[in-house]
Structure formats: structure tokens, C-alpha cells
Amino acid sequence: MLNHDLLPDEKGPQDECGVFGVWAPGEEVAKLAYYGLYAIQHRGQESAGIATSDGQRINVYKDMGLVSQVFDENTLNALTGHLALGHCRYSTTGASHWANAQPTLGATHDGTVALAHNGNLINTAELMEMVQAEQGDQMRGEIAQGNTTDTALVTALLRGREGETLEDTAMGLLPKLRGAFSFVFMTESTLYAARDPQGVRPLVLGRLDRGWVVASEQPALATVGASFIREIEPGELIAIDENGVRSRRFAEAKRAGCVFEYVYLARPDASINGRSVYESRVEMGRQLARENDAEADIVIPVPESGTPAAIGYAEESGIPFAHGFVKNAYVGRTFIQPSQTLRQLGIKLKLNALEPIIKGKRVIVVDDSIVRGNTQRAIVRMLREAGAAAIHVKISSPPIKWPCFYGIDFASRAELIANGATIEEITQSVGADSLAYISEDGMIGATEQPRERLCTACFTGDYPIPLPTSDRLGKNLLERSNGNPATEPEGGCDPGPDAEFESTLTDADRSATNA
């Protein structure tokens, strides 16, 4: 589902964040970080930042906006050094404003640390108590400057004790963190990367001719010309400096990788735990066709996330594949969005149905997931207006019934349409002739991963990392503790499927009353 730009006030599952790090003497590391972030921009579009070091001093530049909006040639040329890290953010813990942009910067007893985080911690309240115990009433660093993220808390706790190296401090702190984290952090001379024991979010290591790269996904390695070496292991901390790469284990691996990475979050050209994301999605489409056939003339995807599954569905069913929508790739977050009055006129900024393909046809439309149902309502409306004779909606993931606390910004449980409605009721709500989801076994089988090594919490409610009580959980926990009202839904750091087309939905799309 892609409705982020269709409905700005009603975000669906959001991809977490993207992290990138490079240690490469003699290379333009800031520009490598820029291109690496550009490759994983889909993981966060609210802010971007890069930190570099020349061995003596760390410089950070960050701002709100896309990577291409935040940085220009002059800015990147000013970020000199031989190691760098970068971050593109979709807010997880903490609101979306400049003070919460990353990388975060903090003092240690022998220098400075910069840190970028992909994921979401669930013991934020406990970490805040640890920081308060160390700093007392006089908060320092980014926390004192208004940063309300779990990342700022980790940065503060990396200060450590006098005489202790940052690496040793990290080895003591990382086992105390609960939740999802793929960290890239650095001192003036060393680049580090760490991944939570469950390996919820991806993190990979790559090799340059004259250095090393770490990134959220393999496509970022390919973009900067790095060869893939391996994934950072769950529970592993690696350090990169002039002596090469060294590894330490801070916790036993207890794999529970996010299955939604295969369904939607990761780029299709990524590979996670040895399995191609694209091939997983195509197989989900094939399995969807095996489980839920329908008489139709064409199979079309909701672009772009539904395309691989639609290809698989068409292959398995023998029904011709067609492109039924044209997507305008140039409508970004800075585009002047129409007012609600203008949206009622049917302004279609992101997506247009191809009437010559659709008119008079029985259409199977394949999407990756349903969150609130608003995007599907808009899709069905557009197909009806284009003259479709029948519309059968096929979803390549099971019904989403539970929120994510590990880095995806889903709606609250009460807002998830599958949590309170039957399939028949959802079908009527979105206005389709029929609706079918893939089975949980079918989805998991397509990933070729053992069920016990995947997190399926958003579908099953089975959280592999035990959650704290509700009063110690939530995206705006630190804002609430500071007496500030919570202005954003609880959730994670990743823009999810219900997030791309939101800004052009009409009131009718937001309401089930038009069913």
C-alpha cells in the first residue's frame, strides 16, 4: 500500500530509518555517505544527516527533508575526513523536528561520539532513568537541547566512565537495550556497527578497494561500488579502523527478523539472510494465486510495492499481467499539496488509472497490505471510474491486526481495519467485488526462513521481545514525560505501506460510508 503522499494526516506503516557508515582513507567519504543514503531513502524521508571525521574532529550536518534537499555540493565538500556515517529518518521514538534529526552527537570521556539508529527501543523509560541517575537534574548534550529520541539516550549513555574506551562502554551498554536496533556510530578515529540480538532490522558489511562500508541494505553497498561481505550478526559489535575489521559478541543471537521487510520495507533488490526480497515477493504472489483464484481478464499491481507479487500472481494463474496505473515519480514531499477542497475535485497527483487497459475488464489488483483501508478505497474508486467491470483485491500479506513496536510506524490497533472487521466487511468497506489475503504459512514459506526466526507480531500479536507496560511504551514517551502533548501516533521509524498516497485521498476514501 502506498498512500503517504495521498493522505499526510493519516500515515500507515512507515519504514524505519536508514543508516550508512564508511571508513575509507583517501576517498570522499561524505559523498559516499550521500549516495549511500540516497539508495536507502525509502527507509526515511523526514530528515537526513551526515557526520565525518578527519581523525581529530567530528563534524555533523543535518536538517529536515530528503537527502537531496538537505545536502548540496558545497555542504558535502565541507564535510572532510576519512570516515563518515549517515542517517535518513522517519520518526520512531520522538516527534519529527530538527532537534530529533540524526546523527546524534555526544561527549565521551576521551572525545566525541556520533550515532545513527535504525529501529525502535522498547525500554526507553528505563534508559531515561539510567541517564538521570548519571546526569542528575542537569541534563547535557542533545537531551538538554530538546532531543526526545531513544537514540539520544543511547548517545548519552555511551559517555561511559573515565578510563573506559568507547568500545568497552558499548559492550556494557548494548546488552541492556531492548527492542530493535541497527546502530552505526563513530569516534574521531573508529567506525562501529551493532545489531540487536534478534536481528529485527537488516545491517550489512561491504568492502571498498580502500575501505569498508556498513549499511541498512545491500543496494546501498552496490550504489557506492562496495562488494557485499556479510550481514552483521544479531548480537554483534564490529569496529573498523586502520587495523581492519574486528568483531565482538555482546549477546547470543536469538533471530526474529521482521517478516515485513520481505513483504514491503526493503528494496526489492535487497537480500536478507540469504533470501532475495524480490523473489520472496514474486513467490508470495504465486502462493496468493494458489490459495485465492478468481476469474479475471488482467492482473495489475498497485505500484511499486505490489508489482513483484502481481507478476507472481499472473505467472501462477495464467491471467495476463498489465500495468493498470501510471505513477508520477516526481511528486515528492515538498510538492505543493492540494487543499481538501481541491482534493474533492479528484486531483490525482501520484497515481492515475489507465482507462484503455481497465475499461470493461475484470481486474485483479495486487497490493502488499491493508492498514486502515483508505488506500484500497481510493484504488478501487479509481478503477471504477476507469470502467472496470469487476475488481478483485488480492493482498500478499495476512491481515495486519497488531501495532509494531520495533520500528514500523503502523496505526494504533484500534485503527487497523482488520482488527475489528471481517473480510466480508472489509470488502464492502473498500468497495471491491472480492478481497483475499495470503495465508500466514504462505507468506512465511515465500521467505524461505524458519518461522521461529521471524517476527510476525503485526499479524499474530506474538512479540518476540517482551513489551513493557503501556505507560512505559510509545513513540512520544519522552514528550509525555516532559509535559508535552503527544502529537504523533505511536509506532516506529519506518514508513510503511499505508504512507505514499495519503495526501490526495478524498473524504470519501477516508470513510467507509461510501461502500
What residues form the annotated binding site? 258, 305, 367-368, 404, 455, 458
Q: How many CA atoms lie within 13 A of 434 on its CB side?
A: 14
Q: Clarify whether 88 is annotated catalytic.
A: no
DSSP-based three-state secondary structure for 160:
coil
- Name the catalytic one among 1, 7, 17, 174: 17
Instruction: Assess contact for 358 and 329: CB atoms under 8 A.
Output: no
| Structural element, H or E, at residue 382 | helix 374-385
Residue with cell 546488552: 175
Name the β-bridge partners of 350: none
Question: Residues marked as binding for Mg(2+)?
Answer: 305, 367-368
Instruction: Assess contact for 41 and 18: CB atoms under 8 A.
Output: yes
Question: Residues marked as binding for [4Fe-4S] cluster?
Answer: 258, 404, 455, 458
Name the β-bridge partners of 348: none
Residue type, 333: R
Q: Residue 240: which residues within 8 A CB-CB, separation 6 or more?
A: 21, 23, 83, 190, 191, 192, 193, 212, 214
Residue type, 355: E
DSSP-based three-state secondary structure for 122:
coil
Tell me phi and psi for residue 308, to 5 degrees.
Answer: -60, -45
Strands 454-455 and 257-258: parallel
Cell of residue 372, nine digits: 486502515
Catalytic residue positions? 17
